[in-house]
């Protein structure tokens, strides 16, 4: 899987849009961009994923640049409950994943998003 | 629809004891996974099962065994617990089809080995 780079922490005011950047300059053509988050002491939660087009669901929007080397996760109206560590993960689309025999997700350090009241 | 459930939520073991962590999903997913998360660290894959009847090692399989009992259930066994296995264990599942392999996680089991 391609490596990703995220800022270690970010602040955002409650009610504003939170924009979380991710760089994945070595992404290859068959790799998707996935976003997960982990609220303290809970299991990770899937948010959204995309290949090259922008995607939106009930939780967030994902904007992927045309060259696919970076992306931004947008939480349109952040609430205090959105305080969490957000992980950007790039991984192949094929099943089963053939990289090193492991089909799991590789979680980096992520971005600790703190929503301020 | 409970998603992914794990039992127990908490467990304390003495070194050398054995136990089995249980995981079940009700989403009819093909693939299931076991991860561990040490304090301040990211998740590391222990074992996974791409489909019913198959299991494969992940990044940190030593000291663990798994059983894919049926499509719903995937258990993780510690045969002889060691303090280094003190961690939070997460089970996850996914559809396991191309482009639809986002993973859904359970609430975790917090294991302490003394």
Cβ–Cβ contact B38 with A under 8 A: no
pLDDT at residue A97 is higher than 80: no
Are B106 and A102 inside 8 Å of each other by CB? no
CB contact under 8 A, B31 and A95: yes
- Percent of chain A scoring above 90 in pLDDT: 72
Mean pLDDT across A82-87: 96
User: Given A34, A42, A96, which is nearest B102 (Cβ)?
Assistant: A34
CA distance B80 to A10: 42
Residues 48-87 (B) with a CB less than 8 A from some CB of A: 48, 50, 56-59
Chain B nearest-CA residue for A39: B107
Q: Tell me the pLDDT band of A101, cut-offs 50, 70 and 90.
A: very low
Confidence label for A108 from pLDDT (cuts 50, 70 and 90): confident
Q: Output the CA–CA distances (angstroms, integers) from residue A39 to A46, B7, B8, B57, B58, in the order listed.
A: 12, 20, 20, 27, 24
Q: What tens digit of pLDDT does each residue of B5-53 get?
A: 999 999 999 999 999 999 999 999 988 999 999 988 888 899 999 888 8
How confident is the model at residue B98, as a pLDDT? 64
Q: Binning pLDDT at 50, 70 and 90, where does residue A107 land?
A: confident
Q: For A13-59, how does the pLDDT look when each residue is reduced to its tens digit (9 = 90+)?
A: 999 999 999 999 999 888 889 999 999 889 999 999 999 989 999 99
**Residue A102: pLDDT over 50:** no
* Secondary structure string (H, E, C) spanning A8-67: CEEEEECCCCEEEEEECCCCCCCEEEEEEEECCCCCCEEEEEECCCCEECCCCEEEECCC
Compute the average pLDDT of residues A98-102. 37
Interface check A29 vs B, CB under 8 A: no
Nearest Cα to A110, choosing from A34, A29, A28? A34
- Across the interface, of A41, A102, A103, the residue whose CB is closest to B31 is A103
Interchain contact, A43 vs B98, CB within 8 Å: no
Alpha-carbon gap, residue A80 to A90, rounded angstroms: 27
The verdict on B96 touching A (C-beta cutoff 8 Å) is yes
A30, A50, B88, B108 from A89: Cα distances, Å = 14, 11, 21, 21
Average pLDDT, integer, range A99-113: 71
Q: What's the pLDDT tens digit per position in B51-101?
A: 888 999 988 999 999 999 899 999 999 999 999 999 999 999 988 766 667
pLDDT at position B74 is 97
Mutate to test the interface with B, among A33, A49, A105, A110 (most CBs of B within 10 A): A105
pLDDT given for residue B100 in this prediction: 67
Please answer yes or no on whether A95 and B58 come within 8 Å at the CB atom: no
The CA distance from B23 to B91, in Å, is 6
Judge residue A114's burial from the number of C-beta atoms within 10 Å of its C-beta, 0-12 exposed, 13-18 middle, 19 or more buried: middle
**How many CB pairs below 8 A link A and B?**
68
- What angle is formed at CA B52 by the lines to CA B47 and CA B53, rounded to 5 degrees? 80
- Determine contact: A101 vs chain B, CB below 8 A: yes
How many angstroms separate the CA of residue B36 from the nearest CA in chain A? Answer: 11
């Amino acid at each position: 899987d391609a490596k990703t780079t995220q800022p270690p922490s970010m602040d955002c005011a409650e009610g504003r849009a939170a924009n979380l950047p991710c760089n994945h300059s070595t992404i290859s053509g068959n790799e998707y961009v996935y976003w997960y988050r982990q609220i303290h002491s809970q299991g990770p939660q899937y948010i959204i994923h995309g290949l090259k087009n922008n995607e939106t669901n009930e939780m967030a929007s994902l904007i992927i640049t045309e060259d696919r080397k970076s992306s931004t996760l947008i939480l349109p109206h952040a609430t205090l409950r959105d305080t969490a560590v957000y992980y950007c993960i790039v991984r192949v689309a094929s099943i089963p994943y053939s990289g090193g025999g492991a089909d799991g997700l590789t979680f980096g350090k992520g971005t600790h998003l703190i929503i301020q009241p | 629809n409970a998603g992914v459930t794990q039992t127990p939520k908490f467990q304390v073991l003495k070194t050398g004891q054995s136990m089995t962590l249980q995981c079940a999903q009700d989403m009819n997913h093909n693939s299931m996974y076991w991860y561990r998360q040490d304090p301040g660290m990211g998740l590391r894959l222990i074992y996974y099962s791409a489909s019913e009847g198959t299991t494969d090692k992940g990044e940190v399989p030593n000291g663990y065994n798994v059983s894919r009992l049926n499509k719903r259930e995937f258990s993780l066994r510690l045969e002889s617990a060691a303090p280094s296995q003190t961690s939070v264990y997460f089970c996850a599942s996914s559809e396991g089809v191309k482009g639809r392999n986002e993973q859904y996680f359970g609430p975790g089991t917090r294991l302490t080995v003394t």
